[in-house]
């Protein structure tokens, strides 16, 4: 059975690097986009905004422009040799509607570059791993309120992009849900997106050998239960080496969510570390996906074998 393996690492950014901002999912508030662009310019980056980032779907207001337009923006940015990184503007919903329209052969031929996003972008993290074999960054997005208002989120993403050797160890704010140490390759994202991605051609068949990062937002506990149970019943968690749990913002009170997580994940017999500070939370950390690492649930640390970017 296939297992999660380390992926190819893109190059780190340097001053003057061109960064394309795209909107594969929901509509983007213009004021927050401008605030995010100002932050990127302050890092001596050269951000360019894809044509439909401020677009609106004519009939479905939860989408930023049409599916074909959003896909074309992402593909054009990725295949532009002058672009060094692609950062999503926000999540929401929409990636699963457009991901099948991407020309993965053309994107593979364009070579590796940095890709950043989270939430609905989870489906693209999976697709980039499966189709491009590329390390991606689960991190804050250019027009996200959690980015423009958080110095910690900005500083951690900036260090990951420019000096990734400085952030090889991530430290949680919590304790071990299940104690122990484990080695594996990082993967994951938003729980509900991972569950809904099962069976699609752009998703990994298994988390075997992985250190699985999970988080979600605004879900009732029974819905989280349903998604975890789906992954368990599908055998997707068979052979996982360890789990890191991020934020559960706007879900039910954490003690109830914690009880569920212990109930559904405790029987896997692997270390589980909680409150790792990534996802839909204030001051969210950037977590590289596709990098070999060691999880120490007791110490609350994830230590990457090598920097996220070369």
Give catalytic residues, as residue numbers: 119, 215, 280
Beta-carbon contacts of residue 292 (< 8 Å; ≥ 6 apart)? 6, 183, 184, 185, 304, 305, 306
Residue 187: CA count within 13 A, CB half-sphere: 32
- Which is nearest to 234 in space by CA: 266, 275, 197? 197
CA distance 249 to 215: 9
How would you classify the pairing of strands 181-190 and 292-296?
antiparallel
CB atoms within 10 A of CB 15: 9
The pair of structure tokens assigned to 257 is: 């969510």
């Amino acid at each position: 059975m296939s297992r999660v393996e380390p992926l190819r690492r893109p190059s780190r950014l340097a001053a003057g690097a061109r960064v394309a901002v795209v909107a594969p999912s929901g509509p983007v508030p213009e004021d927050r986009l401008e605030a995010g662009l100002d932050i990127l310019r302050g890092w001596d980056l050269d951000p360019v905004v894809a044509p439909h980032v401020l677009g609106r779907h004519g009939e479905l207001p939860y989408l930023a422009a049409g599916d074909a337009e959003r896909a074309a923006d992402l593909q054009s940015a990725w295949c532009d040799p002058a672009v060094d990184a692609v950062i999503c503007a926000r999540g929401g919903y929409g990636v699963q509607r457009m991901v099948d329209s991407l020309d993965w052969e053309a994107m593979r031929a364009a070579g590796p570059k940095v890709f950043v996003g989270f939430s609905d972008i989870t489906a693209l993290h999976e697709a980039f791993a499966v189709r491009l074999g590329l390390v991606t960054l689960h991190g804050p997005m250019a027009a996200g309120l959690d980015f423009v208002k958080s110095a910690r989120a900005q500083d951690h993403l900036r260090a990951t992009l420019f000096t990734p050797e400085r952030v090889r160890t991530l430290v949680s704010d919590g304790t071990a849900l299940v104690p122990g140490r484990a080695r594996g390759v990082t993967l994951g994202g938003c729980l509900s997106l991972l569950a809904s991605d099962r069976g699609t051609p752009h998703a990994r068949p298994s988390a075997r050998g992985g250190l699985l990062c999970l988080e979600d937002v605004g879900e009732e506990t029974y819905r989280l239960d349903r998604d975890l149970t789906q992954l368990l019943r599908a055998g997707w968690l068979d052979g996982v080496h360890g789990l890191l749990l991020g934020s559960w913002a706007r879900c039910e009170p954490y003690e109830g969510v914690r009880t569920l997580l212990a109930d559904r994940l405790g029987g896997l017999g692997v270390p589980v570390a909680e409150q790792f500070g990534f996802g839909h939370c204030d001051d969210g950390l950037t977590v590289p996906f596709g990098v070999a690492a060691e999880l120490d649930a007791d110490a609350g640390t994830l230590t990457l074998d090598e920097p996220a970017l070369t």
